[in-house]
A and B are shown apart, each in its own frame.
Chain A
Amino acid sequence: MILLKSAALVALAAAAAPATAQMVRPQDPQTLVQALQQGGYAAQLAVDDTGDPMIRGMVGGTRYQLLFYNCTDHKECATIQFHVGYHLKTPVTLAALNEWNRSQRFGSAYLDKENDPILEMDVDLDDGGVSQLLFIDNVEFWTSAVQRFEKSIGYSN
C-alpha cells in the first residue's frame, strides 16, 4: 500500500514538473530518491549513524549506501558519496586494489581497517543542485563501476 502510494506520488511529480525544472538537490534528499526511482533504480530514504540522511540503493542484487556530506543540522547537505563494502572469504590484496585504481575511472577503492574492500564515488551536487540527466549519468557510472569492481574482487551474490 505504502509502495503504491509513493509510486503514485512519483508519477504525479513526473507529470507535474517538466524534466528540465526538476533539479536533484542534496538539500532535499527526496529529489535524489525520486530521480533514482524514475531512472529505474530502487532507492529508500534512511538516516545514517551520525543522524544525516542516507539513501539505501540497490545495484544488481548488491545493496549500497548513498551518504550525504557537508550537512548543517543533518539537513542542507551539499555533497554525496556512493559507498559499497564487501566482506569476503578470500581477502583482496592492496596490489589488486592499486591496479583497480590505476586502470579505472570514477570512484576509488581501498581496504578499510577490517581489511574489507570498499568502493566509493563522490559527487558534488552544487548549491542549486544538478539536472536529473547529470545525476543519472553519475548513477550509471557508479552502477557500472560496482559491477566491474565485483568481478575484479571475485564477489558474486
Chain B
Amino acid sequence: MSAFLLFLAAAAATTPTTQDKVKEAQTLADFDKPVPPGKVSVANPRSIVALLQKEGYRAKFIAEPGKRPRIESAANGANFDIYLQNCKDNRDCQDVMFSASYNKRKEDPVTIEKMNEYNRDNRWARGYIDKDGDPVIEYDVLFTNQVVDEKAFSEAVAIWSDVQAAFHKIIGF
C-alpha cells in the first residue's frame, strides 16, 4: 500500500502538470531580466553565477517553489549560499546575503561568547548561534535598482572569502 502511494508520489513528481510548467516558465522569466553592461543583477542571477565562476568558484542558481531563491557555492572548503533578499513572493528580489552555517559540534560546541568575540574583532559580517545551536555567518550586500557593478561584486566575493576564513578559525572548522 505505502509502496503504491510512493509510486504515485514519484509519478506526480516526474510528470509536471501544464500549470507547473507555466509556473516554472514564469519563475525563469522573473530571473532573466536584461543586465546592463558591467553590472550583475539580482533580477538575473545567472549574471552572479557567471561572475562567481569566472572568479574560480563553483556556482549554481536554485529557485525552488516556496523557498528563497539562492545561489549555491563554496569557498575555504565549505559550502555557502547567496540568498536573494527582499523578494516579493520569492521573486523581484532587491539585494543579497552571503550565508554559511555549520553543524553544531557534539563535543565543545561553539558558544555565544565565541560569536561575540568574532563580531568584536572582525568587520563586515555577523556571526551567531541559531536555534539548533549551529554557528552561522552572514554578510549583506546592497544593490541599487537590483544591480551593482561587477567590480564591486567581485570585491564583495573577496571580502566574503576572507570573512568565511576568519569565521572558520573562530569555530575551529
A residues whose Cβ falls under 8 Å from a Cβ of B: 69, 79, 81, 94-95, 97-98, 101-102, 105-113, 118, 120, 122, 124, 126-128, 130-131, 133-134, 137-138, 141
Expressed in whole angstroms, the minimum distance between the Cβ of A17 and any Cβ of chain B is 18
Interface of B is mostly: mixed
Please give me the 10 A-B residue pairs with the lowest Cβ-Cβ distance, nearest first.
Answer: A108-B126, A110-B119, A101-B128, A134-B144, A101-B126, A110-B120, A98-B112, A102-B128, A122-B123, A108-B119
- Residues on A with C-beta less than 8 A from B151 are 126-128
Choice from B120, B129, B144, B145 contacting A98 with Cβ under 8 Å: B129
Interface string of B115-128 (1 = CB under 8 A from A): 11001100111111
B152–A69 touching, CB < 8 Å: no
Of all chain A residues, which has the CB nearest B155?
A124
- The minimal Cβ–Cβ distance linking B131 to chain A, given in whole angstroms, is 8
- A residues less than 8 Å from B85 (CB atoms): 105
Closest residue on chain B to residue A125 by CB atoms = B152
- Chain B minimum-CB-distance residue to A131: B144
Where chain A touches its partner, the secondary structure class is mixed
Judge if B142 is at the interface, Cβ distance under 8 Å. Answer: yes
Let me know if B113 is at the binding interface, CB within 8 A.
Answer: yes
Confirm or deny: B35 has a beta carbon within 8 angstroms of a beta carbon on chain A: no
Name which residue of chain B comes closest to A113, CB basis: B120
Point out the residue from A111, A131, A137 that lies within 8 Å of B120, measured CB to CB: A111
CA distance A74 to B120 in the complex (A): 23
Q: Provide the bound-state CA to CA distance between A94 and B155, in Å.
A: 31
Contact across chains for B120 and A134 when beta carbons are under 8 A apart: no
CA distance A19 to B112 in the complex (A): 44
